[in-house]
A and B are shown apart, each in its own frame.
Chain A
Amino acid sequence: MASAQQAQTQASAEPKPQTVTVTSTRDPVDKSYRKMIRGMERFEREHALAPQATLRFHLLPRTPGVNMHGITLRALGDHIALPIPVADDNTFTLPRNEQALREDAAVIANRKTTSMTWRAQVITPGLPPGTRRLGDLRLECLVGMEAGLVSNSSPLFGWISNALTTPEQVCNSPDGNFLFFSERPIFSVILRAGERSEILPFRMLYAGGEQTREMLPFCDCQVLLDRTYYAPIWDRSWPDDTLVSFEYMDEPSAEVKP
């Protein structure tokens, strides 16, 4: 009885699809519901990279001054508007809905699409504070690329990039340049696997440190440059259990023993 009530409560709490007629034209850089579901399927297929981890999607600021509070999301098709609850930390999961898939729905926020960047978030529970796990980052790259989350400013660049860069090409190549974002501005990033420990070179921080003011608007690191790093996800000499730890700009220097 209790479980039936619970199920009823859960069912009533779940977002219900609404039937609507959508008259507006989809923005070419809106996120594709189908692609994001494909990203979730990729997560299931490649779960061995992060067996204990769960998948969420994460919204991050892309342009200066964007308000990241009170974001709402919907999957909008020709006749469906599926609400997608967004948590206070701007993460969300995507409910699977056959009608939204059939209608090739777009996932749309109550913000200009180009004002935010989107990432997969794969986190193994129980890691030491201020650390990430390399296998989680490998899976974030594969899911993020499969889901079409990396935001380019120009549809032209997006089209060409997609034609030439598969998730495998991006995530398994030293030149893949898939950007990760830390929680706070970083000063140093250290990899540790067993007895081996290495500090990431400067060129793997801050989007390579090569961005000019003119280039930054094209990069989805535009307002996150000081939180941006590349991880050596392509380098299989670092196992999936490698810990990636951060020294932040706003904390005392740690004693680093490479």
Chain B
Amino acid sequence: MSLLPWIPHLTFAGALLSLAAGTRSATAARVTALGTALVGMVLVAIGAVNFAPTSGLQTLVDVPWIQEMGIRYHLAVDGISLTLVVLTSLAAVAGILFSWTVEERVGEFFAFYLLLIGGVYGVFLSADVFLLFVFYEIAIVPKYFLIAGWGSTRREYGAMKLVLYSFAGSSLVLAGVLWTYGAGGADGFSLSALAEAATRLSHIETVVVFGLVFFGFATLAGLFPLHTWAPTGHVAAPTGASMLLAGVVMKLGAYGCLRVALPLFPDGFTAWQPVLGWLAVAGIVYAGLIALVQNDFKFVIGYSSVSHMGFVMLGLATGERAAVGGAVLQMFSHGVIAGLLFAVVGRMVYERTHTRDLTELQALPLHRLIPGAAGVFVIAGLASMGLPGFSGFPAELKILVGVWRVNVWWTVWAGLGVLVAGAFTLRVMQRAFFGQAGTDAAPVAESSSLAPLSLPEKTGAALLLGSTILIGLKPDLLLDWIMPALQSPAFHFAATKGGP
């Protein structure tokens, strides 16, 4: 049988090992962490190769856990969760490669890092809502220590804000789930038991509970106007943690919406749908416009993350099968691309130039000083703008086509968002990398010998770039997993509406 169910525990064990190895030497901790992530990646690859797409969840483990409450230790996988598990394994390895230069308390850093990764794997594999919630919360706390301990700009503020937002969101989820369990009289916390209990709630209750659960999860997905933790948190975080935050942690929220909120309360979804769609559109445009005027390189990427996650939420808000599939593809795509962009800003540029100020960077001819970084950023920027050949294109196309069938105006505004994304990406690309050397640039001389990209950086960049190009050229690799999963009766809210 597949080894997938062991991945979270393996990662937790790796966290302990890294902590122990860190007391010996920094290198030992790094190697242990990378080894853990690589083993996880291999296990995921084996699981992915042997995966046969079906509709519905394929149970991996299902044993009684807390019988007094009808809670089961139930891990399962379908095309959606496997897509995100693959993304997590990529982000984990890449993040460690880009954290290779962490020098302080290395063992602790990677212990928190792997704890977070293990929690994320667990969420994507859980089929029992209690278990999902446990993993979800395990993934929250390490973020505080990663950011507050190893971060930069206003790190304690950013860390606290991020964790409090996440935890407040998860409290809403807990309230909604327990309400359903209690008032609906569920005999456990499995998705099916809760879905059945949800049918016994009154209409008003369903609407309220859907709001609690959806917005609780959506907080972590960065849905406007609950997104404000994201830019500050991303900017304050150390590179590896920003990559994880944007790459996988925001996906936890979107995944929770898709896996728990939408299937459990379809009536509540119908009532909220217009609001959700407009909020998602507002997020796309608003965050894009903010990104357009930022002067801090990392804030641009932080807001662009919120804008791109808006597409995911818009896809979900349509409740239309093709668009929801596109949203899942966009989760993967954004996870890879955002990780890459944060790696360029935080690791490749900032650690060499010690500035993220676009005015200062403009004075440096970075395309000549670190051509590798410029090259990676140009490709990643093109991918981020949604150009064909990269994974963002099929994802956003599927979403926009699906949205068209539901509400034309959403498509118009979201299309405008695509244009804004192009604008801010080109602007930051030009300012950061293709600035005019020597206009009023004193620092050029001293920084004219910036270190070229190191091996870990090249490997990490190649891994992520390869993924986005591969999926861009052949999105069916993932869509063949995702679309059958959406045929499951659990996702019957995702009916094809409107057109043929």
Q: State yes or no: do A and B come from one complex.
A: no
The interface of chain B, by Cβ under 8 A from chain A, is: none
The interface of chain A, by Cβ under 8 A from chain B, is: none
